[in-house]
Each structure stands twice: as C-alpha cells, then as structure tokens.
Amino acid sequence: MESVWAIVLAGGGGNRFGGLKQFAELGGQTLLDRVVQLAGKSCDGVVVVLPAAQAQDERYDQPGQIRATGGATRAESVRSGLAALPPEAAIVVITDAAHPLATVVLYERVIAAVRAGADGALPGLPLADAIKRLEPAGSDATLLGLAGATTAAGGNVSAQMPMAFRTAALRDAHARIGDAVEDSAMVSAAGGRVVVVPGEPTNVHVTTPAELAIAAALLPLV
C-alpha cells in the first residue's frame, strides 16, 4: 500500500479571527491538536506547519510527526511542508487547523480518489444560494459592498478541506506555479486531473470566533 502523509497548515497569523485561531480550544482540544489527531488516523504520518515562534513546540515532536515552519503565504507554507515529507510519501493530504470537524471518512474519501487514479481530490459541498460578486462601496462602512455579477448556485460547489494529491503532481504544480487560492487550482492549472468527492455539511471552516461557536455546536454531531 502506498504511503500517505498529511500536511497540516497552521502557520497563519489568524487576522480575521483576532489571534492564532489554530490554538483556540474546541471540545477540550486546540483546533490544531484535533486536526493533527484526525489526520493521523488515516495517514502514515503528519507534517505540522507552525508559525516561526511555535516551530520548536515539542508537543509536535512525536512519533510519526514532523515539524516545519510556515512561510509568508499559504503556498510557501505548503512548500515548506512538502520539503519536510519523507521520500516514500506517494500521496499527500493537505488540510489546515481551520477545518476541525472533517471526519476520518472524508479523509479516506479523498485519499481513495487519488489511489483510484486522480492527481488530486477535494470535497465539494453543492451551493444552495446564488453567488454575488461584491463591488467596492466606497467609504460606506455600513455596506459589505455593491451587488455585482451573479453566478447561479447550480453546478457550483464550495471547496472544502482536506484535499489529497499525488505527491509528484503537487510538487510539480508548486515548482511551476507561484501561488493560487488553494492547491487544487495549482494542480489543475499544471494539467493535473482533480476530482470532486462529496463534502460534509458539518465541515465548517473556522475563520472567526462566531464560526468557532458554530463548530462547538456541531461537535456532538460528528
């Protein structure tokens, strides 16, 4: 069986959260500890990408874990994690501390899609509402923005984490493309075949304290 490793991204500054959200608590664990534990249940090992100030935290110096230091951008943090992977890691799962409710089943689902032949796989949750593009609203702080173009919900999904990739394909994409919103976009742009598997409605993306409260309410359901 091919070796599978995870890279857990936790090197951000948490600007929208108001602090280092990866160390916020959920159900008696930090978000980061919970995600590292989840990833370890379906992967052979975990690379934990930490902020520079926490990169020597001995809590992540455990069997089957490797520490790495995050970069100035998400892509740089992923590349730091890739550099730390052992050479036998044929498949790599990319996730982050902001998705603490993804289930082991979801991890196994994206891994299975790559084992079946895809270069990458991500969970997608079908959108129920139309998408509006925001245009600048000037100095009016009471507005999110002006309503721009509309995209119908049908045929679109929200991209969730974790994502899984053939390690060679992800390395190639990062060698050829400087940056992107997320890794599946880079692998697709580099010519890779990326598939979408069913996501999970409870797989909330924690970016604000309000979303952490939502995750806490959902915790008993996962």
For the chain, the structural domain boundaries read 3-125+157-221
pLDDT number for residue 61: 76
> Tokens at residue 164, please?
């899984």
| Residue 5, pLDDT above cutoff 90 | yes
Least trusted range by pLDDT, from 14-23, 49-58, 138-147, 206-215: 14-23
Read off φ and ψ for residue 66, nearest 5 degrees. -130, 135
User: For residues 126 and 156, what is the distance between their CA atoms, to the nearest angstrom?
Assistant: 6
pLDDT of residue 56: 78
| Band of pLDDT at residue 45, cut at 50, 70 and 90 | very high
> What is the four-CA torsion angle of 187, 192, 195, 201, rounded to 10 degrees?
0
Give the residue with greater pLDDT, 122 vs 22.
122
Give Cβ neighbours of residue 61 (< 8 Å, ≥ 6 apart): 67
Q: What is the structure's pLDDT at 11?
A: 77
Beta strands in the chain (DSSP E): 3-9, 25-26, 29-30, 45-50, 65-69, 89-96, 120-126, 131-135, 146-151, 157-159, 163-166, 194-198
The confidence score (pLDDT) of residue 15 equals 65
Class of domain 3-125+157-221: alpha beta
Kindly report, residue by residue over 70-121, the tens digit of the pLDDT: 998 999 999 999 999 999 999 999 999 999 999 999 999 999 999 999 999 9
Kindly report, residue by residue over 136-165, the tens digit of the pLDDT. Answer: 888 888 988 889 899 888 889 999 999 999
User: Euclidean distance between the first and final Cα of the chain, in Å?
Assistant: 28
pLDDT digits (tens, 9 = 90+) for 180-194: 889 999 999 999 999
Q: What is the pLDDT of residues 8-42, one digit of tens each?
A: 999 776 666 767 889 999 999 999 999 999 999 99
DSSP β-ladder status, 89-96 and 146-151: unpaired
Confidence of residue 66 (pLDDT cuts 50, 70, 90): very high
Return the pLDDT at 101: 97
Q: What angle is formed at CA 17 by the lines to CA 143 and CA 148, rounded to 5 degrees?
A: 30
